[in-house]
Copies of this chain bind each other. A is one copy, B any other.
Amino acid sequence: MDKFEERTIASETIFKGKVVKLQVDEVSLPDGKTSKREIIKHPGAVAVIPVTKDNKILFVEQYRKPLEKTLVEIPAGKLEPGEKPEITAKRELEEETGYTTNELTFLTSFYTSPGFADEIIHLYITKDLRLLEEEVAGDEDEFVDILELSLEEAEQLVKDQRIHDVKTAYAVLYLRLLESK
């Protein structure tokens, strides 16, 4: 048991959507008092660092409604129920970049917003990209542009906060960590 565990006294589901579920839990604190926790349940997601034969990384530029702006990100998408992360990763890569792969290597995983959400992202890399002959029909509501950058260029965008999405910024620095060994 975790030392500071918060035991659930009651849990109320407020909303069940296509992406997120919202619940409010009443919890018992370590000192015996009670508090409320607003919790977003998320199915989890994958992200892929696609590296081309020329050692460039593929990024997608995508409009993000919550921010009302376009971000530079690595290909990513949420897990479907019961789906293996590798399958999701391959599909999202195909849909968003037009490339496929038979070789995905797991790098790491991380929680994005542990204060209020349970989202976990599984990060993969592939250096075995093959251009698909036919475009894959992706999510009907997803529109993206592709960007090809060297690791050095990507690092500069991280420093300039033009890569402003943490999974992408972290992926770039993680790749640098791997390459520096």
Contact = CB atoms under 8 A, between A and B. Distances in A.
A15 to B, nearest CB: 5
This chain: copies in complex: 2
Interface in A8-58: 14-15, 17-20, 22, 24-25, 27, 29-31, 33, 35-42, 45
Nearest to A174: B173
Given A166-B167, A170-B170, A177-B176, A69 B2 contact: yes
Contacts of A67: 111, 114, 118
A65 B40 contact: no
A63 B2 contact: yes
A109 to B, nearest CB: 6
A62 interface: yes
A35 B4 contact: no
Contacts of A112: 112-113, 166
B143 A110 contact: no
A35 to B, nearest CB: 4
A153 interface: no
SS of A interface (majority): mixed
A15 B18 contact: no
Contacts of A6: 63, 65
A116 B19 CA distance: 8
A140 B73 CA distance: 38
A165 interface: yes
B14 A38 contact: no
Contacts of A155: 177
Nearest to A63: B4
